[in-house]
Amino acid sequence: MSNRSCAAIVNNGRILMVKQIYKGEQLWTLPGGSIEAGESPAAASVREAREETGLEIEVVKLLVETYSDRIKGMYYCYQGRVISGTARLGTDPELAEDEQQLQELRWVPLADARDHQEIRRIEGLLDGVVEENVKQPAPAQVQIREAGPADIEGIAEVHVRSWQTTYRGIIADDFLAGLSVEKRKKNWEWTFHNLNQDEAVFLALDDKGQIAGFCSGGKCRELGGDYDGELYAIYLLREYQGTGIGRKLAGHLVRHLKANGYKAMMVWVLERNPAVDFYRRLGAKPFTRKEIRIGEDVLIEIGLGWESIDVVQV
């Protein structure tokens, strides 16, 4: 008899999964493993997540507790929330280096994850996790307007806060902790005094007039390519993600670029950023990739593009 405990870690519409070798076959599973003697199922899910993903998590709630014929023991699955760490493939401390079974770590879109066997096991309960982590009620009123220098402080605050939530588990914790609104304000002061050709910044204001997010774009910064326009960035406070505000911001930028004669558009985005799925839903297709350094981390950034600005689905 072997009891197993695992963690369902959901962030911005994706669930963290591990590819491993089990009985000679490769399969995707949730981070998890056997419960050690004297260890509680909840503690086991936290330990296994740390060993397999490098993330420190806290248990939010128990999703499922059932007997499994496959493992001939009890199966537990907990909802886990990331509190620190960067997601990196770990190792099984009980196995030698040449016996390791962990193969790959990936944030999988929830729509795709439901095809995996282990997700189907908790699918009915996973919907609750999705509701808590992804779906947000749409704000009563949203105003979109172009930004100016007077908005710099509010933009800087949203920029820092959104980085610290969106990139948790992707960019090192110490780098994110070191971000400051004051430094970001100086960056934005420089930006507004040195705007690129046709560059514009749009704000989304909530029903209290506070900045919920922003979008910027203009002439493509990659010269000589197939895209003359570029979406530089979209950032939203976490509580407004998934409400449709990002699409509205993108729509304003698209109309701005079209009015200035642009025919195509691209965007750079970190490969592990859940926003990749957002841009795909807007019709973007990947066309290139490159390495970039953020702090001490070397990360992959991919270029997504719309060959015609008329096909952006906003």
- Nearest residue to 7 via CA among 27, 40, 31, 29: 31
Which uninterrupted H or E stretch holds 212?
strand 211-219
- Angle separating helix axes 181-193 and 152-166, nearest 10 degrees: 120
Which of the residue ranges 85-89, 101-105, 172-176, 202-206 has the most confident prediction, judged by mean pLDDT? 202-206
Gap between the Cα atoms of 124 and 126, Å rounded? 6
Least confident of 134-148, 222-236, 239-253, 266-280: 134-148
Domains of the chain, CATH where assigned: 4-133 (3.90.79.10), 143-311 (3.40.630.30)
Gap between the Cα atoms of 294 and 172, Å rounded? 9
Tokens of 225: 């390519």
Gap between the Cα atoms of 309 and 248, Å rounded? 15
Share of the chain above pLDDT 90, in %: 44
179 in the Ramachandran plot: left (φ > 0), alpha (ψ -120 to 50) or beta?
Answer: beta
**For residue 59, is pLDDT > 80?**
yes
Place 140 in a pLDDT band, splitting at 50, 70 and 90: very low
Q: Which residues pair with 57 in a beta bridge?
A: 82
**For residue 198, is pLDDT > 70?**
yes
The pLDDT mean for the chain works out to 85
Q: What is the pLDDT of residue 156?
A: 97
Q: What is the pLDDT of residue 126?
A: 55
Q: Which whole number is the average pLDDT over 289-302?
A: 93
- Nearest residue to 89 via CA among 145, 36, 158, 20: 20
Neighbours of 226 (CB within 10 A): 12
Place 99 in a pLDDT band, splitting at 50, 70 and 90: low
Least confident of 197-201, 275-279, 282-286: 275-279
Gap between the Cα atoms of 57 and 48, Å rounded? 10
Place 123 in a pLDDT band, splitting at 50, 70 and 90: low
